[in-house]
Amino acid sequence: MRRRLAGVVAASAATALVLVGCGAGEESDSQAGSGFEDCVENPNECNSGDTQEGGELTWILDATPDAYFPWSPEGGSVYTLQAIHGILPYFGQYLPDGEYEYNMDVLADEPALISEDPFITEWQLNEDAVWNDGTPISADDVRILWMMSTSEDEGHCEGCRPRSSGSFDIIEDVEGSDDGKTVTITYKEGVSVPEWFAFGSVHGIIGGLAPAHIAEQQGWDIDTPSDLGEYFEYLNDNVPEFSGGPYLIESFDLENQIVMVPNPEWWGEPVNLDRVVKRFISAEDTWVPALNNDEIHGGSPSTWPEDVIRQLLDQQGVRVHMQPGPSWAHVDMNMDNEWLGEHQALRQAIFTAIDSEDIAQRVFGSLFPDVTVRTNHIHGPDSEFHVDHLEGTGYGTGDIEAARQLLADAGFEGMEDGAGELSLDGEPVGPLRLRSGESPALTTSTELQQAALAEIGLEIQIQTTDNLGGTLGSQDYDLMQFGWSGSPLFTGAGGQFWETGGGSNFGGYSNDEVDALVEQERQATTLEESAALHDQMMELVVEDAYVLPLYDTPVFIFVTEDYVNVRDNTNSSLRGMASQPGWGLAAEQ
């Protein structure tokens, strides 16, 4: 049984409702194949159908995970989350239509807010919920989710490297009762949590819960910080043999694929397929041949290979759907680079020279002309909380003359001839490395940026990486284009992205005023207050020219018509994988 959360989530779901429902208006034949026609009007149930028992589906992920577990900076990509989805128990998720749904396979009842001062929530776990070895899913699993996600200064985990700790550092304690089936979460004094209902959701730091008892089996005491740090690395470096979800991992090759089979100890609705294979294939030009050879059956890539999408639209028996997605692209500075870190005017000039609208239209406009330029680091253009933070800055306009003037006013020379001879006090600037993942869209985008920055005297060397998490985590770039893929949840985002030492603050940005606002936002009692404080943070981040939003990334999903109950969820980093438990071969008519 599943229940939906009403009332309290309405404000935070606003972004999601629009993202799923907007786009190019009514769908044309180029936007949907049979089975996806009603995804705008009926996103939760489109492409539904009766299934037959058994079968195998091979799904593509368009990049490789960089670790076996998504806790760490190197493992914390959508690819790791999507790869292992199906083994972690979770408390809830946003549906494609933007409504939040509790997972009543794992929960026995909807959680309760039992006190606002101090802020305390209570969660009842399903008596039948067990890990695949029969160990009950319990409060200890929730406790280690909390402790292993906190910053080291909290004293719970020595050596843990979580990507985001802000929403966990504000917790005072996690306690279990009723044989571990009742979980009580008490927050620190003065803390309010507007998005408390989404604790333990698939949108969280690891997409669910991790098993505490595996640490104990390995000889680590979960209440000893150094032991917990060793368990953190163990999860990062070893194939998970545990499952508290409908699937088990049969094999996991970080370079090639992950294979999942049904979990025989799963207590919920049985899955339909005998095997789900998730292949890691970054070479888009191989997708259609692999589809025609029955080597793959579908995917919801994060990339946008226009030629491949056109080929898919021409394939008989293949369903394709396009819509605005959950991610947005941006260019970040490495503040530890001697030139970028010390010269605000240089950073501002770079952001002014880049033409975001031209990039968006060159990459997406032919197939999806309604692509939007991003002007907010947290909220999409249709969110009730959206504020245009780039208006009046010149950023993303491609105004070469304005960029040159910024540099001239700061004493730079050699920006007029486009020959890569920018200098300051006789010292050459650069060359600078602009890095990204590998895809046709990213190639187009980075080459356009390279050409624009040459016009202000900067030599830009484009370098791709097949290890995005590792490259970001090691700060091995000067400029980096990548994307954030998120959910309608946003409280605590500023701490994750911009706080000094923040888990996803890869470029080493530090601003005392921003840090102070992050602390204030942690005390926000409403979504409106949180959004207002994030607006103040964004004004400072924009002035400092640390992150340039580029565009809201459209997405597509495809699947052969042999399969049903496959659909996209643009409110989740999981995308099409969010519907994985219901996938099946269409019943014979």
Domain CATH number, residue 404: 3.10.105.10
Strand, helix or coil at 581?
A: helix
Name the residue range of residue 380's domain: 328-553
- Beta bridge partners of residue 275, listed in sequence order: 56
Q: In what side-by-side order are the strands of the sheet with 112-116?
A: 112-116, 119-124, 182-187, 171-177
Q: Is residue 309 part of a domain?
A: no
Write out the two tokens for 116.
Answer: 């606002």
Q: Which of 489, 560, 486, 495 is nearest to 522 (CA)?
A: 495
For the four alpha carbons of 333, 336, 337 and 341, in that order, the dihedral sign comes to positive
How much is the pTM? Answer: 0.78
- Rounded distance between C-alpha atoms, residue 586 and residue 62, angstroms: 25
Burial of 532 (0-12, 13-18, 19+ CB in 10 A): middle
For the four alpha carbons of 466, 471, 476 and 478, in that order, the dihedral sign comes to positive
Q: Are strands 182-187 and 171-177 parallel, antiparallel or unpaired?
A: antiparallel
Q: Is residue 549 part of a domain?
A: yes
Contact 455, 353 (CB under 8 A): yes
Q: What is the pLDDT of residue 165?
A: 86
Write out the two tokens for 68.
Answer: 């076996």
Q: What is the pLDDT of residue 486?
A: 65
Q: Is residue 142 part of a domain?
A: no
Q: What is the pLDDT of residue 7?
A: 30
- Rounded distance between C-alpha atoms, residue 254 and residue 280, angstroms: 8
What DSSP element (H or E) covers 90?
none
- Beta bridge partners of residue 557, listed in sequence order: 321
| pLDDT mean for each 10 residues of the chain (589 residues) | 35 23 31 71 94 96 93 89 97 93 97 95 98 98 97 95 88 97 96 93 94 97 97 96 98 97 97 97 95 97 91 95 90 97 98 98 92 93 90 98 97 82 94 93 95 96 92 96 84 92 93 96 90 98 98 94 96 93 91
- Rounded distance between C-alpha atoms, residue 588 and residue 211, angstroms: 40
What DSSP element (H or E) covers 318?
strand 318-333
Burial of 30 (0-12, 13-18, 19+ CB in 10 A): middle
- Rounded distance between C-alpha atoms, residue 200 and residue 368, angstroms: 35
CA end-to-end span of the chain: 29
Write out the two tokens for 241.
Answer: 């043999």
For the four alpha carbons of 514, 519, 522 and 523, in that order, the dihedral sign comes to negative
Q: Which of 21, 55, 50 is nearest to 38 (CA)?
A: 21
Q: Which of 367, 284, 295 is nearest to 324 (CA)?
A: 367
Q: What is the pLDDT of residue 438?
A: 87
| Main-chain phi, psi angles of 461, to 5 degrees | -100, 120
Q: What is the pLDDT of residue 356?
A: 98
Burial of 49 (0-12, 13-18, 19+ CB in 10 A): middle
Q: In what side-by-side order are the strands of the sheet with 412-413?
A: 412-413, 423-424, 427-428
> Which residues, at least 6 apart from 133, have a Cβ–Cβ distance to it below 8 Å?
242, 265
Q: Is residue 380 part of a domain?
A: yes
Q: What's the total number of domains in the chain?
A: 1
Q: What is the pLDDT of residue 160?
A: 95
Q: Which of 125, 114, 137 is nearest to 187 (CA)?
A: 114
Q: Is the peptide bond before 431 cis (omega within 30 degrees of 0)?
A: yes
Q: What is the pLDDT of residue 419?
A: 67
- Beta bridge partners of residue 251, listed in sequence order: 259
Burial of 170 (0-12, 13-18, 19+ CB in 10 A): buried
Q: Is residue 293 part of a domain?
A: no
Q: Is residue 494 part of a domain?
A: yes
Q: 423: which DSSP letter? A: E
- Rounded distance between C-alpha atoms, residue 180 and residue 178, angstroms: 5
CA geometry: angle 545, 548, 553, nearest 5 deg: 170
Q: What is the pLDDT of residue 440?
A: 85
Write out the two tokens for 364.
Answer: 């997406």
- Rounded distance between C-alpha atoms, residue 523 and residue 447, angstroms: 43
Q: Is residue 524 part of a domain?
A: yes
Contact 150, 165 (CB under 8 A): yes
- Rounded distance between C-alpha atoms, residue 587 and residue 431, angstroms: 59
Strand, helix or coil at 220?
A: coil
Q: Is residue 35 part of a domain?
A: no
Q: What is the pLDDT of residue 2?
A: 41
Q: What is the pLDDT of residue 35?
A: 85
